[in-house]
Amino acid sequence: EVQLVESGGGLVQPGGSLRLSCAASGFTFSSYWMSWVRQAPGKGLEWVANIKQDGSEKYYVDSVKGRFTISRDNAKNSLYLQMNSLRAEDTAVYYCARDPLPKRRSPSYFDYWGQGTLVTVSS
């Protein structure tokens, strides 16, 4: 059974940093593109970043470029999101999500999602 379990969320002050983790199981993690998607309270979904199977390609939404870094450790079946210079508008539930097919050249949609971890940026 595919499982994605996020952790690392919490309350942080503006300008602070946080590192989110996503533990994957039930599939060959190293074969899939992986993404982070967020949802501000009461709002819609926003794709944040994704990373290729071997980490060689990474893409970000403009609003987080230069502040967030996506990474992965295939030996640990884990995905990460390092978030620096956090702003109030980064407050959201952050979901880890999997691409549907292994070994794809390009990322696509998401077939499995974690339950999310809440990040609150406030003083």
Partner 1 sequence: EIVLTQSPGTLSLSPGERATLSCRASQSVSSSYLAWYQQKPGQAPRLLIYGASSRATGIPDRFSGSGSGTDFTLTISRLEPEDFAVYYCQQYGSSPPPYTFGQGTKLEIK
Q: What SS3 class is residue 41? A: coil
Closer CB to partner 1, 49 or 86, in the complex: 49
Q: What is the DSSP letter of 111?
A: S
Q: Cα-flanking dihedrals φ and ψ of residue 27, to 5°?
A: -155, 170
Task: Give the C-alpha separation, 7 to 95, whole Å.
Answer: 10
Select from 31, 61, 74, 120 the one that contacts partner 1 (CB under 8 A): 61
Select from 41, 44, 56, 75 the one that contacts partner 1 (CB under 8 A): 44
Within residues 71-100, the interface with partner 1 by CB under 8 A covers: 95, 100
Select from 40, 73, 111, 122 the one that contacts partner 1 (CB under 8 A): 111
